[in-house]
Structures are given as structure tokens and as C-alpha cells.
Structure 1
Amino acid sequence: MNKPTLYKTVDATRISISELMQPSHSNFNGKIHGGYILNLMDQIAFACASKHSENYCVTAAVDTVNFRKPIEIGELVTMKASINYVGGTSMVVGIRVESQNIRTGEVKHSNSSYFTMVAKDSDGKSIKVPGLILKSDVQVKRFLKAIKRIESKKTRQIEFEGKEFSRENYMNVLSEHNVKLEID
């Protein structure tokens, strides 16, 4: 059995796929269905994470899906994925989706997202993943941004799922929004 790689560069597991958008991928408004794009994003996240970890991976979380611009039927969609962060058994895969009008050549940034993937062994147990070699300031920023998103999520969980939570502490925040409380 080969010894697993201890560290890999971001470029070593970067993946790109392209697909022409068909009428069967559209929603009732004639645009490409967001669920179809999410499915493709999940596939490229799996491929990127599996390539990095050299193991089967599962999706643990999808964070910050930004639908920036609609994708039209007949456009060529290209997805680019790279590992932005690694933990012990998990990886954050950053995905950028671009769509290109084939006739005009115009390229637009359509979607972005971050998928947290976990490496699994043949018994379904989480396993250690290789570390990440960062070779540019962009890669360092992506890694640090992932850490900040993870920390923010933990802070929200503690704040809102803890025993100390009381809505009375948030009444001033609630009053600034379009909400009406009718709690018995």
C-alpha cells in the first residue's frame, strides 16, 4: 500500500469542468434551475476533495451559495474548484461558476460557494486528509477566510443554541426588522 501524501499544493487538486446548458436544465422562467447548478457543484466538490484526500468523500455542509447572475439555456457553464482549507478529516472546496454566451463570448460570474467535504474510509469512518501547501497570497486569504467562516458558525451555534439564549436579549434587533412576534 502506498504511503499517503502528507501535503499537497492547491494546484495539485484543482479541477475544472464545462457543460453546455440544455433546455431540460431550465426552470419555469426559462433560466437554468439553481438546483441543477447545485448538483453540478456538489459533483465537482466531490471530485476535488476526493482527488486531494485520495479517498471517497461526502458533503458535510454547503456554505454561502451566492446566485449572482442567471444562466441562460445554450450557455457554456464552467466550474472551477480548489481546496481552500483542510482540517483533520475535512476540506473546504471553493467553487466558482462562470457562464459564457457562446455567440458573443461574454463570460459572467454566475455562482460561488463553499462545500465542506469529509474523507471516509471503506468502513465509512472519517479519515485524516493531507495538509495544504499554500503558494500565494490569494491561497493564504482563502484559507484564512475559511477559518473565519468556521469560527463564525461556531459562535452562532453557541449564541443561539446555548441554554442561556433568551429572545428578550434580541428585542432591539427584532424591532429593526419586518417581523411581528405572536408568541404565547
Structure 2
Amino acid sequence: MPLFILFPGRVAKEAYLVVRGERITVQASTSLGDINCSYSENRPGDTLYLNRPIGPRERLVLNLPVKEFACGNMLLNRDFQRTLKSGDHPLVQVEVLELVQNGPHFLGKLRLQVAGKNQVLRGVDFRRQAGQKLSTKLCLSFPDYELSTPQKLGGLVKVEEELQVTVELLLAPQTFL
């Protein structure tokens, strides 16, 4: 007859956030000024687990349609789409592989797919913002994704080789830790 011994103990409470949308802003500097392109989406609510590796089925995946980014006018929209090769790669994908709470901010590991090229970004620092948001700023280099910087007017207007990307995760109010 088997003997079962039960030890009283604490059950760890699983930590998570409920993401109800995202706002992505891409900024590029040119020889004539800055270009800003943005995309936002609301969603019913996706669970983002904290403080542990996140399994493939549990990961928060943001599929961002390149053609949905607004850059201010039709010409800039078309240049942005052409630069990111939207004809062959219509989506930019951001996948949260891990998010660990570290005091008032969160450290993440992301997989970013741009123009068919994948990069894993470690130590991504998400900060808590007013209005139930987590926000981070990323600096992406055109060569890392095998992209060419656009040039206009025979090279008179040049774009810097880095993109400044702001990712904001919009959270449901009751889920902030």
C-alpha cells in the first residue's frame, strides 16, 4: 500500500499582463529632417506571462502589416513599404520570448522579423508609462536586416542607417503589477 505524504507549502502565483493593443512608431533621420511612421492596433486581450521562459504557444506575437503604417503622406508611405520590402514580406513580426519584472521596469527578450530576417534582441528594457503602458525604444540598423537606405533626388536626400523604433504595449488596467 503506497504512502503519500503531503507538505503544506505556498503555491506561487503566476504573474502576467493582459495586452489589449500596441502602438509602434518608427523614426528615421534624413538630411532634410525626421520621418515618423506609426501603427496601432487594439485587441481583445492577449496574456503575456512574466518571470519565466514563455513557451511557443503562450508567446505574445505582434504581426504588424507594413502597408498599415502611416508616415504622413502617400509618397512616404510608399517609400517606407518599399524599404521594408513589403511586396515579399508584408508583415513585421515582434515575438516576446521572455519578460522578467525587475523593480519598476521589465527586461525582455524579443525576436524581431523584418524583411524576412530574424534577430533576437536580449536585455530589452520596457518601462512603465502613464496610461497603463509598457514602452521600450529600439535602435535598428539597416544592414542588420539587409535593407538599403532609401535615397531621393539623386542622393541629395539621404536617410541615416538607423531606425529608432518605439514599442508601446497597451495594458488592461487590472493587470499591472
Taking structure 1 as the reference length, the TM-score comes to 0.27
TM-score (norm 2): 0.28
The structure with more strand, counted as a fraction of residues = 2
